[in-house]
Structure 1
Amino acid sequence: MSRAGKDSAVLVVTALDDVTADLVIQVLNERKVPAVRLDLGDFPTSVTTDAYLGQTGISGHVITETRALDLARVRSVYWRRPSPYTSSADLTEQDAQWCVEQARYGLGGILAALPGAHYVNHPWRNRDAEYKPAQLATAARCGLPVLPTLITNDPGKATRFAIDHGPVVYKPLRNSDYLSEDAQALTVWVDEVDPVSIGPGLAQTMHLFQRRLDKVADIRLTAVGEHVFAVRIDGSPGLDWRRDYDALRYTLVEPPPAVVKGVHAYLDAFHLSFGAFDFGLDRAGRWWMYECNPNGQWAWFPAHITERIAQALANQLQCRGQLHDC
């Protein structure tokens, strides 16, 4: 049974250069709530772990260079963006891979099974909610408007969809960079697709095509428990507002009640405490959901917005999702 109480710690699992986590830790520090930062990439170089499991549950410690965390006294876990697991440089490639896998299922398994801890979000729930097909299907079930979308590796079906629903855009199924031939990191942006440009190479993997929205603005809605913070984004020079942050303007707006209801139903469906939702706003004032990042960023917003989100996240972590426990 967990012994976590009001003097127990918040565990923040993330890399050193995570500005988003920094803002939340700052609020926790101001409230005198103990916070322990842990980067998975520091194991085993500067992290030691012991976990004892039996009829009484789990106990033990995670020890970093500066802190010792009692596993039975963790009130909440803020699972952000830790570095990948590593291994000793003097190991063979095969041995290194084996060690990394053991760390993932050992240390990762321990951190995912802390008794009584409130997760924002649980790493396995983050993983489940990262798949765009599941996001769009769940959003539709929850009453959030979704644009016609095709996911395929069939060039003929993709061409037919682009003709029938055009104009259409292409979106990566996962927002990750890849390396060019000269080892430069490249980003695949949201962009419009001409049906004649679709060729046989499309058959090599899965692709997502979606009807282009005739939008007047973008909206990033950050949901933290029962609280939602909707920010209208104006000034984007193209389809993908992430390409030019300097051109953007941000305004806090009140989301329609139907959207709020759908967002909470969506979070419940994936067992999430946090989600960063991207919407497009059409000329009729309707909100269309594009995606939800279960671990999305928000620290680039102006201070008067980030302060509100940081306070809401600190509340979740301090109170373990239950305000009456504070």
Structure 2
Amino acid sequence: MTVLILTNDEDVTADMVVVRLNASGVPVVRLDPADLVGGVALSGEYAHGAFRGHLCSAGRLVSMDGLRSVWVRRPGTPAARVAEPSAWLTEESSQALYGMLRGSGARWMNHPDAARRARHKPWQLRLAQRCGLPVPATLITMFPQAARDFARRFPDLVVKPVSGAHPQEPPRAVPTSRVPPDADFAAVAFGPTLLQRRIAKRADIRLTAVGEGLLAARKAAASDADPDEVDVRFTADPSPWRGTEVPPRVAEGVRAYLREAELAYGAFDFAEDADGTWWFLECNQSGQFGFVEADTGQPIARTIAEWLARPAAAERRRVDGTTASVP
């Protein structure tokens, strides 16, 4: 039984898991859907009440019935590398590839439908609230007056994108920024704006969830940190990430979140305040983990590889979020 990894060629984080799978003797095929109609080909036959599907990549043929798991890591747009790309060919290739894989019986990390829904930050915030995770007061609005009223109630705010990365090629991260005290908020009328109460944090937390396993890392804020530098991704602080224990209530909330979101993997970001409360900021369903493993030595790649290598027949996650044993 083979593990299929869908990701781009530059994904060095996926390389870490491939190394682990190879060392365990688990067959693995890695391909980028962007190479469809070029270096990657597929075929599927529906006849006599049965389905037989195959993928071919780099001269290697793999049966879709022989897949134990599919890791949708950071795949490219299907058929993006053909000589004359088109929206039509992309849609045809996407439906063919993901439509066939959906019928394979393989376990997903993460299922495309669940991953697509999980990208929506407003949905994340509401789910985190329902799962008992503390969420900073947040407003998403196009009404300047609503923004002004919110700023009066919560004078110390940050602004961040609703969607995450800017849709350029390659995608560009947009930093979370502190809102100046004299902001008049007139510009929010030109597009949805996400305002959030700033957490005066004593540390950033990255919690990597793989199945039921939770691996948390903590990066302490410098005592002389500039309060305007609110996004840990863009600070010059050289202090490393350190492994840390997950508070029981946070662990309970994160596992509830994963069940509700139907995710097998999630990279959770929290801000820890002076009282030790972990405030939920977001969950990236395909977030990076290499930098955490490098600093902490936590076995994240190994944990992912072990999850992917489990027999496909052990458990199947339904689209409705429940699980069922498979004979």
TM-score (norm 1): 0.88
Q: Does 1:240 align with 2:194?
A: no
Distance 1:100 1:79 in 2: 17
Task: Pick the aligned partner of 1:216 from 187, 202, 214.
Answer: 202
**Secondary structure, in 3 states, of the residue corresponding to 2:145?**
helix
Q: Does 1:126 align with 2:115?
A: yes
**Secondary structure, in 3 states, of the residue corresponding to 1:189?**
coil
Cα deviation 1:186-215 (Å, max 9, x = unaligned) = 642111113532443321211110000011
Task: Pick the aligned partner of 1:288 from 259, 279, 282.
Answer: 279
After TM superposition, list the pairs within 5 Å mapping 1:249-264 onto structure 2.
249-264=240-255
**Secondary structure, in 3 states, of the residue corresponding to 1:22?**
helix
**Secondary structure, in 3 states, of the residue corresponding to 2:290?**
coil
Deviation at 1:226, TM superposition (A): 1.1
After TM superposition, list the pairs within 5 Å mapping 1:96-175 onto structure 2.
96-115=86-105, 117-175=106-164
**Letter of the 1:174 counterpart:** S
Cα deviation 1:123-164 (Å, max 9, x = unaligned) = 211111111111110011111111110011111111211121
**Secondary structure, in 3 states, of the residue corresponding to 2:45?**
strand
**Letter of the 2:253 counterpart:** G
Task: Pick the aligned partner of 1:190 from 159, 163, 176.
Answer: 176
After TM superposition, list the pairs within 5 Å mapping 1:223-234 onto structure 2.
223-234=209-220
After TM superposition, list the pairs within 5 Å mapping 1:73-84 onto structure 2.
73-84=66-77
After TM superposition, list the pairs within 5 Å mapping 1:34-113 onto structure 2.
34-54=27-47, 56-86=49-79, 91=84, 96-113=86-103
Match of 1:3 in 2: none
Distance 1:302 1:75 in 2: 26
Match of 1:5 in 2: none
Gaps in structure 1 of 5+ consecutive residues: 1-7
Go from structure 1 to structure 2 and tell me whether the alpha carbon gap of 1:128 and 1:186 turns closer, same or farther (over 3 Å shift): closer
Distance 2:236 2:57 in 1: 36
Deviation at 1:46, TM superposition (A): 1.4
Deviation at 1:171, TM superposition (A): 1.0
The alignment of Structure 1 onto Structure 2 pairs a total of residues equal to: 311
Task: Pick the aligned partner of 2:190 from 191, 204, 213.
Answer: 204
Deviation at 1:85, TM superposition (A): 2.1
**Letter of the 2:301 counterpart:** A
Cα deviation 1:248-294 (Å, max 9, x = unaligned) = 32110101100000000000001111110000101011111101011
Go from structure 1 to structure 2 and tell me whether the alpha carbon gap of 1:136 and 1:13 turns closer, same or farther (over 3 Å shift): same
Match of 1:276 in 2: 267
Match of 2:318 in 1: none
CA contact (8 A) 1:136 1:146 kept: yes
Q: How many percent identity over aligned positions?
A: 37
Distance 1:122 1:80 in 2: 11
Distance 1:212 1:203 in 2: 22
Go from structure 1 to structure 2 and tell me whether the alpha carbon gap of 1:195 and 1:43 turns closer, same or farther (over 3 Å shift): same
Deviation at 1:114, TM superposition (A): 1.8
Distance 2:276 2:147 in 1: 29
CA contact (8 A) 2:3 2:27 kept: yes
Go from structure 1 to structure 2 and tell me whether the alpha carbon gap of 1:309 and 1:65 turns closer, same or farther (over 3 Å shift): same
Name whichever of 189-198 and 165-174 sits farther off: 189-198
**Secondary structure, in 3 states, of the residue corresponding to 1:108?**
helix
Distance 2:48 2:257 in 1: 35
**Letter of the 1:99 counterpart:** L
Deviation at 1:101, TM superposition (A): 1.3
